[in-house]
Amino acid sequence: MEGACVYIDNYNLSSILMYKELKNNIIFYVKYNFIEFNINYINIYDFFKIFPNNPIHIISALPYYDYIELTLDVWKNIALNRLKFLNKF
């Protein structure tokens, strides 16, 4: 289970959620909007509690590196390029 989605959160803010299952139901996720930037490891059961009800999936596969800063930079670039591409239509 991995990917990225955009959605409108409870505070009416545009948000992006990127996630990747690493091993044995442990998920690394990044949640970002204008106010917050959360990075965490979470189990799959708690992840489904924070997963939005009406997401628009924009990415279906994400790489993961042991160096977290590299992972975040690559994910940011992938999401930005995908959003730019989708905005053209």
pLDDT > 70? residue 26: yes
| Sequence-ordered strand ranges (E) for the chain | 2-8, 14-23, 26-32, 37-43, 56-59
Q: At 24, list the tokens.
A: 């044995």
pLDDT band at 10 (very low <50, low <70, confident <90, very high): confident
What pLDDT is attached to residue 88?
84
Q: Is 64 within 8 Å of 22 (Cβ atoms)?
A: yes
pLDDT > 80? residue 89: no
d(CA 41, CA 63): 15
pLDDT tens digits, one per residue of 63-88: 999 999 999 999 999 999 999 999 88
